[in-house]
A and B are shown apart, each in its own frame.
Chain A
């Protein structure tokens, strides 16, 4: 369903794709707010870099900055050899630092503000940004305008170069795809053009073909990329730790559309190897190329256990392997395999730590609308539909007020050392209720993720992401207290089997054990077992997550 355009459908070719995407690109750059704005001939009021004071023009503002804040923009520009974009970053960097309360931002080196994030204007319609060309002219009286003109010519040349590269690339991709398809047709004994989906379908004998196929759809990638909690965390860690990535060889396990690989490449990695066993790898390859990172990133299709990497060892493994309840899908096994096989002795895992949490759950509204519903459906009893509800754990976004006791960590996972065997476990836990409830409806499970910049950094077993963030580390939670992620939470509903559950009191302590077990070697499903006992509650139940 998703791949028709790549499969070379003739009707898709009727559409003038290139023209359109070029015009849209220029549209979107307009929205960026600074790029295409005409340099204003008239002098325009401009806000001081260091205070709320507004000056009639840029020159007087810069003069004030120099005299009162010891900040000489033109001199810094010259000393650090800043080009147009660098200067824009400098301005935004200074504005953001001042906004954050630092009146004397460190501008000793270009690296302080080299992050592309500083391309984004801090002030809306910042007149200073529009006037950078003018002040550059002022500075270079000798050759007025030449800098801007040279820039335009350079950009034009680069555009032409990229356009021709891109069309060559299109042809190359199409050709190699056709070759590949015809080869695969031969091996399958099929004639004519076979869509890649069908080839995938013919291979569906592999047990997990479905799993990899489902990842070829746009929808899933869109929901993952739009999960800002997830993607921001990876981006922040990579971009805030460029020194860690600089000149390193990075392996991205399960790269998807290649976003993490591109973060690493932008952060200065020498080489990034991106592996995925889904059709999406073809898209990733194209995206990487479109973003000019083809020299750094190598995309390889296949299972990490089977592919041949161009290197024996990597310095960093980055992966977004987390599934529902952390371990559903068992992709983590592949990450551990990659670590043991390829990671250098002092290499870094990104992320570096994870913790699994459990908490008591009570949600009378959910029980009423989803459980009681089956007791009378258009005049019929359908209670037997309920049996399954208690067999399968449910993935839902739950409200924080349904968590009726503090959560507790039942499994810390240090990614540098944990083994596959440790992913099947039985652990003790203990929780204390923080309010009176009519019934304990179930258990909620979620996980937290931590990104430490060195393999020696310690994360306490009961670390809380928001606390780690305050200490300057990157971390996020998938719990009900955080912004919702696409992982939501796992809810395991308790089956009271027609017996009425007892009300429980604030302060009641419940002790128990929780176990995770993979369904089978082939399956990506997971069995969760919880046994618990408290003052007025006791049980032992198993749920599947599939």
Chain B
């Protein structure tokens, strides 16, 4: 539903609100819940919440007496972690009306003195401090960048972060790998070939351009993963979020390839002892799952053979919140019956 309303860039909303509209089939569930369900889902995402908690609680010496800014604070959980870790003051900012609830939650937990929550856009709210020592934010979207708040975090960094200040987390790396997914591809894409006896192929074209956010089993991986890009939040700029990068993946076994998948790892390198978590298929479930890009070809690959190409990502010119993704692939083998190359376009 959020796909058609236009929100200016630089808007902050908790990632819960950003997620609404993602799983179209669930849209009405979440709206009927008034976004409740998504906050619950995110808080229950133990990998996510525990990583933030550990990176804050295990680094009390870093947080002690510091001024902390929580960008997109949602229910206020990260702000409260920082306050409990000894921060002098935490300012949480969120666009969404969830701030009202968050204020109540902060009060019930006796942290109102330490935590100030503001509802509004980052560019418009008045912070009580000219500079902050630490920025914390859970800004990541599906495919890391879909409806992500990263540009807002960068705005906050450039505007408020004191020299030498720290960002939690501060590194994100994206990966791709190839998977065998015949059965599900048939279910999602082949479905349109015969719908109650009718040919629905026009819908198939749309289905092929929509990346699918879903849980991929580790046994579906045909190749090793390939890191494609790392963002260092201390230095990255908004312009860097449009990129075209090469990839090359090598098959671990002989199998078919139906899709490429992408995921990301997150690192809190400002910690005394760096803390990381992964949203890959080999790691524990997170609500980010993985993003599946179906190829038009089915590749017949043998162990040791490589698929290579480029992944290009850029915000859509007309609707900045959409991503235009192009995946070029080349499967170069001597056997001309198996040789394949192509270019697929996706929009999410």
A155 touches B (CB below 8 Å): no
Chain B CB within 10 A, most for which of A28, A226, A378: A378
Residues of B within 8 A of A211 (CB): 1
User: With A28-B193, A201-B5 in contact, is A2–B36 under 8 Å at CB?
Assistant: no
Q: Which residues of A have CB within 8 Å of B43?
A: 377-378, 382
Q: Is the CB of B207 within 8 A of A218?
A: yes
A11 interface residue, CB < 8 Å from B? yes
| Chain B window 312-336, contacts with chain A (Cβ cutoff 8 Å), 1 for yes, 0 for no | 0000001100100010000000000
Task: Tell whether, in the assembled complex, residue A394 and residue B32 are in contact, meaning their CB atoms are under 8 Å apart.
Answer: yes
B33 at the interface (CB under 8 A from A): yes
Whether the Cβ atoms of A11 and B32 lie closer than 8 Å is no
- Which residues on B sit within 8 Å (CB–CB) of A391? 34
Q: Does A395 contact B (CB under 8 A)?
A: yes
Please report which residues of chain B, range 10-43, place their CB below 8 angstroms from some CB of chain A when the two chains form the complex: 23-25, 27-29, 31-34, 36, 39-40, 43
Is B53 at the interface (CB under 8 A from chain A)?
yes
When the two chains form their complex, are residues A11 and B343 in contact, meaning their CB atoms are under 8 A apart? yes
Q: Are B318 and A384 in touch, CB under 8 angstroms?
A: no
A290 at the interface (CB under 8 A from B): yes
Q: Which residues of A contact B81 (CB under 8 A)?
A: 378
Dominant SS at the A interface?
helix
Quick check: A378 and B53 within 8 Å, CB to CB?
A: yes
The answer on a CB contact under 8 Å between B36 and A388 is: yes
Known: A11-B345, A218-B207, A384-B104. A195 touches B36 (CB 8 A): no
Is the CB of A186 closer than 8 A to any CB of chain B?
no
A291 in the interface, Cβ–Cβ < 8 Å? Answer: yes
Q: Is B190 an interface residue (CB 8 A)?
A: yes
Cβ–Cβ < 8 Å partners of B104 in chain A: 384
| Contact across chains for B75 and A385 when beta carbons are under 8 A apart | yes
CB atoms of A5 and B4 under 8 A apart: no
B49 lies within 8 A of chain A by Cβ: yes
Q: Evaluate contact between B36 and A389: CB separation under 8 angstroms.
A: yes
A462 interface residue (CB < 8 Å to B): no
Q: Please name all residues of chain B whose beta carbon is closer than 8 Å to the beta carbon of A200 when the two chains form the complex.
A: 4
B200 at the interface (CB under 8 A from A): yes
Q: Cβ of B129 < 8 Å from any Cβ of A?
A: no
Contact status B199-A291, CB under 8 Å: yes
**Does B34 contact A388, Cβ atoms closer than 8 Å?**
yes
- A372-393 vs B: 1/0 string, CB under 8 Å? 0110011111111101110111
- State whether A213 touches B25 (Cβ < 8 A): no
Closest A residue to B348 by CB, please name it. A1
Q: Could you tell me how many residues of chain B have their Cβ less than 8 Å away from some Cβ of chain A?
A: 65
A287, B210: Cβ atoms closer than 8 Å: no
> How far apart sit A14 and B77, CA to CA, in the bound complex (Å)?
47
Bound together, the chains give a CA A468 to CA B49 distance in angstroms of 51
Say whether, besides A4-B209, A20-B296, A210-B1, A385 and B36 are in contact (CB < 8 Å). yes
B32 touches A214 (CB 8 A): no
Tell me which residues across on chain A come within 8 A of B209, comparing CB atoms. Answer: 2, 4-5, 12
Closest to A14 in B: B343
Q: Which residues from 177 to 213 on chain B have a C-beta closer than 8 Å to any C-beta of chain A?
A: 188, 190-191, 193-210
| Contact present for B322 and A1 (CB under 8 Å) | yes
A15 in contact (CB, < 8 A) = yes
Give bound CA distance, A220 to B1, whole Å: 11
Output the nearest chain B residue to A266 by Cβ-Cβ distance. Answer: B197
Distance in angstroms between the alpha carbons of A197 and B33 in the assembled complex: 27
User: Inside 8 A of B36's CB, which chain A residues have their CB?
Assistant: 385, 388-389, 392
Query: B201 and A290: CB pair below 8 A?
Result: yes
Contact of B108 among A373, A383, A392 (CB under 8 A): A383
Specify which of B75, B104, B202, B326 lies most central, judged by the most chain A CB atoms within 10 Å of its CB: B202
Separation of A198 and B347 alpha carbons in the complex (Å): 14
Q: Is the CB of A382 within 8 A of B343?
A: no
Q: Is the CB of A204 within 8 A of B347?
A: no
Contact in complex: A385, B101 (CB < 8 Å): yes
A222 touches B (CB below 8 Å): yes
A509 in the interface, Cβ–Cβ < 8 Å?
no
CA distance A506 to B189 in the complex (A): 50
CA distance A353 to B200 in the complex (A): 30
What mask results when residues 53 to 87 of chain B are scored 1 for a CB within 8 Å of chain A, else 0? 10000000000000000000001010011001000
B105 contacts the other chain (Cβ, under 8 Å)? yes
Q: Does B44 contact A (CB under 8 A)?
A: yes
Please, how many angstroms separate the alpha-carbon atoms of A253 and B108 in the complex? Answer: 51
CB-based contact A381/B343 at 8 Å: no
B238 within 8 A of A: no
A286 lies within 8 A of B1 (CB): no
Known: A24-B193, A380-B105, A546-B32. Contact between A220 and B25, CB under 8 A? yes
The reply to whether the CB of B109 lies closer than 8 angstroms to some CB of chain A is: yes
A333 to B27, CA, bound (A): 23
14 pairs, CB–CB < 8 Å, chain A vs chain B: A11-B343, A24-B190, A28-B190, A204-B4, A204-B5, A209-B4, A210-B4, A214-B3, A218-B24, A226-B191, A257-B200, A378-B77, A381-B105, A382-B43
Supply 20 further A-B pairs (C-beta < 8 A) apart from A5-B209, A24-B193, A384-B104: A1-B3, A4-B345, A213-B3, A218-B206, A219-B210, A221-B203, A222-B188, A222-B191, A222-B207, A257-B195, A257-B200, A259-B198, A377-B75, A378-B53, A380-B105, A384-B108, A385-B39, A385-B105, A395-B29, A546-B31
